[in-house]
Amino acid sequence: MENSKDRLILKILPYLGILAVLVIWELIVDLGIVPNTLLASPIQVVKLFFIKLNTADPDGAVLAVHIATSLKEALLGYSLALIIGIPLGLAMGWFVIVEGLARPIFEMIRPIPPVAWIPLAIFWFGIGLTGKAFIIWASGVVPCVINSFVGVRMTNPTFIRMARTYGASDWEIFKQICIPSALPMVFGGLQVALAASWTALVAAELIAADTGLGFLITMGRRLLMPDMIVLGMLMVGLTGVVIGVIVDKVEKRLVAGVRR
């Protein structure tokens, strides 16, 4: 009896925490402790959320369009990062020639923060989809390469030795042993890459865009609408969580049995 009561309290606690923050936040704004021009109250944000569902004004697009723009950019850049980064990293981990060729270039580019690419990306691709996709690609490709590389390098040498005694070729060992054993690391990289790309995307949209969640935040600042800024921030966070969960689900399905 006591136990189930404890468990109930534990279940309620997180909601209580959130509720407390919302109430305090609401009160701070309502009581004028922080002026409304600087911070919007939760109720104002929710109201704006419902308005923005079907109203394009004052920033030029409904919420769904902003989300769609950001998602499209993220998806394009992120997929390109995976398609190029993972095979490159895997190959760098196993084939000496690939590592020798690619590693110095990679190590040169790696320390440049993705955000630093934004000005060049605007020069090259303008403020549309391509430019954003490029920024996201630049920030996502690095963790993809590193984790795939390390994943292959961490392959248990006994596995490789054993495969050799079976008479397997280098290519077969790479395919049958190194890649599957690197998978958990690769998927870890996907999550890191996702976080990095999403951050870079919002940064890019803050600087140059005409739709997108980052743009929504910027418009909130320009129009002196703190509720719009907060709404944009919340939507960025929420969308990010949803994508993260999807990647996690895919990972669980693909690497069944790999985790001990």
**Contact set with other proteins (CB under 8 A):** 156, 158-159, 161-168, 172, 176-177, 180-181, 183, 255-260
- To the nearest whole angstrom, how small is the minimum distance from the Cβ of residue 92 to other proteins? 21
Q: How far is the CB of 258 from other proteins (least distance, A)?
A: 5
The least distance separating other proteins from the CB of residue 256, rounded to whole angstroms, comes to: 8
Amino acid in position 98? V
Give me the least distance between CB of 260 and other proteins, in Å please: 4
Q: Closest separation between CB of residue 169 and other proteins, Å?
A: 8
How many other CB atoms are found less than 10 A from the CB of residue 120?
A: 13
When the beta carbons of 3 and 165 are compared against other proteins, the nearer one is 165
Q: Which is nearer to other proteins, 49 or 159 (CB)?
A: 159
Closer residue to other proteins (CB): 128 or 180 = 180
Nearer to other proteins, 36 or 156 (CB): 156
> Which residue in the block uniquely carries the two structure tokens 């865009």?
209
Pick the closer one to other proteins by CB: 123 or 166: 166
